[in-house]
């Protein structure tokens, strides 16, 4: 079996130029089609490889997986076999899809059973998320927010350059791309000198983020180092962490966001493996002051992922309102996972950890409406002549992301969500 996927490799499955899913990607997801129950699939071009059929036909015989790992509503059982097993599975799929290998492609009947059109399939939530943690790891975003709400000369709180700040979010309200979000309700305090009021959120916002999904970690009481972190990360997806800014402003002191965040977070359906992203790693920013030893790391642990956000009004056309990049993160995944577990916190298979809003140095790189409209003082003008300070009912927000190096593109697809009025 091959040990790596060559950038010159091509698949016998047709892949359009510019597709997010060439043979160098092979992301995992959960899908169903026809009357068949949910199962594990891998994206290639505009097709899905049905891993349950692949297993049943004997193509995965020498691997450590069972039928129930693929006849499953979630990736968790498959992922529970760990990094090396999942890596071997992906490389076996690559071997079977490689145009230089006739093992599968020469059997037309098997090909017809194994390949499904993405357009004929329904994607499902890929992971049963046990716990969800949201970090706050973009320096530009944290500086923008601190400038708006505090002192511009002291925009970052004293701890920000020393620890990857995070909070525990709500896993039950993580939803899949395509599922609408209903405008949340809660307490707000629009006037400082008057009591709080209750009603629908008026300052609804998106947050452009990426999330990573974990394998099983170490036992309670043990830590994962930055050097070990890659072995405990399965892959990544796009993540839209919806935010009710007016609810958040009133409730977040002293314990942080609650109702402002727990009503919904949206993810893309395909989990792109860390192995597929490895060639897009780049150096991170110089971290000053110097971090404590447990947060030090070696090698390139940041990733160059191009990101964009589109906003489509009801019945209108899409407006690209932000272009950012995951490379702008100050704290990387290895540091986030090391910090999360340094106190002995145990992580489990399927835990999800989000990056926090990803903003770059320029206004067009900002990853939230709060920043793009600068707290509503600079409304965005859309193609239809309307303006947005924050999101309106009927708006659809789409996030896309991909890595590009020469002719190799490894993408995440998209996460798309329409906003419905409050109940």
**Which residue out of 141, 302, 328, 340 is catalytically annotated?**
141
CA distance 186 to 389: 20
The contacts of residue 85 (CB under 8 Å, 6+ apart) are 63, 64, 65
CA distance 249 to 257: 8
Computed from CA positions of residues 388, 327, 46, 215, in that sequence, does the dihedral angle turn out positive or negative?
A: negative
Here the tokens at position 348 are 């489990």
Q: Supply the DSSP string of 110-143, one letter for each residue.
A: HHHHHEEEGGG-EEE--S--S-EEEE---HHHHH
Q: List the beta bridge partners of residue 42.
A: 28, 49
CA distance 392 to 417: 12
- State yes or no: is 141 an active-site residue: yes
Three-state secondary structure readout of 245-286: HHHHHHHCCCCCCCCCCCCCEEECCCEEEHHHHHHHEECCCC
DSSP 8-state assignment for residue 289: S
Q: Shortest CA distance to 403 belongs to which of 319, 300, 326, 288?
A: 326
CA distance 211 to 178: 18
Backbone angles phi, psi at 138, to 5 degrees: -95, 115
The contacts of residue 213 (CB under 8 Å, 6+ apart) are 75, 79, 127, 233, 234, 235, 236, 237, 271, 350, 351, 352
Here the tokens at position 262 are 């727990």
Residues with catalytic annotation? 141
């Amino acid at each position: 079996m091959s040990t790596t996927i060559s950038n010159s490799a091509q698949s016998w499955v047709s892949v359009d130029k510019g597709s997010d899913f060439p043979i160098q990607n092979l992301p995992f997801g959960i899908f169903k089609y026809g009357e068949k129950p949910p199962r594990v699939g891998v994206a290639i071009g505009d097709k899905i490889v049905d891993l349950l059929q692949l297993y049943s036909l004997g193509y995965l015989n020498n691997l450590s997986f069972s039928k129930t790992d693929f006849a499953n509503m979630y990736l968790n059982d498959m992922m529970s076999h760990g990094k090396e097993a999942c890596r071997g599975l992906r490389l076996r799929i690559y071997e079977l899809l490689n145009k230089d290998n006739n093992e599968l492609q020469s059997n037309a009947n098997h090909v017809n059973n194994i390949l499904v059109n993405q357009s004929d399939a329904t994607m499902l939530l890929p992971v049963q998320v046990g716990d969800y943690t949201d970090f706050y790891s973009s320096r530009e975003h944290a500086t923008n927010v601190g400038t708006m709400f505090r002192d511009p000369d002291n925009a970052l709180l004293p701890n920000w350059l020393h620890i990857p700040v995070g909070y525990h979010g709500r896993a039950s309200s993580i939803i899949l791309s395509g599922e609408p979000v209903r405008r949340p309700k809660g307490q707000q305090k629009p006037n400082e000198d008057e009591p709080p009021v209750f009603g629908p959120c008026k300052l609804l916002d998106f947050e452009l983020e990426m999330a990573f999904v974990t394998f099983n970690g170490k036992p309670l009481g043990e830590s994962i180092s930055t050097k070990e972190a890659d072995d405990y990360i399965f892959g990544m997806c796009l993540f839209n962490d919806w935010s009710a800014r007016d609810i958040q402003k009133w409730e977040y002191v002293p314990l942080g966001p609650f109702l402002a965040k727990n009503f919904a977070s949206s993810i893309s359906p395909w989990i792109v493996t860390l192995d597929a992203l490895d060639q897009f790693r780049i150096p991170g920013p110089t971290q000053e002051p110097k971090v404590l030893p447990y947060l030090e790391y070696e090698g390139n642990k940041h990733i160059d992922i191009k990101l964009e956000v589109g906003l489509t009004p009801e019945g209108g056309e899409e407006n690209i309102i932000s272009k950012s990049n995951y490379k702008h993160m100050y704290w990387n995944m290895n540091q986030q996972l090391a910090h999360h577990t340094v106190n002995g916190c145990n992580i489990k298979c399927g835990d999800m950890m989000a990056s926090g809003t990803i903003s770059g140095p320029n206004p067009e790189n900002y990853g939230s409406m709060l920043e793009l409209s600068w707290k509503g003082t600079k409304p965005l003008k859309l193609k239809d002549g309307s303006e947005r300070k924050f999101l309106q009912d009927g708006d659809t927000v789409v996030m896309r992301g991909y890595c590009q190096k020469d002719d190799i593109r490894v993408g995440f697809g998209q996460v798309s969500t329409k906003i419905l009025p409050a109940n």
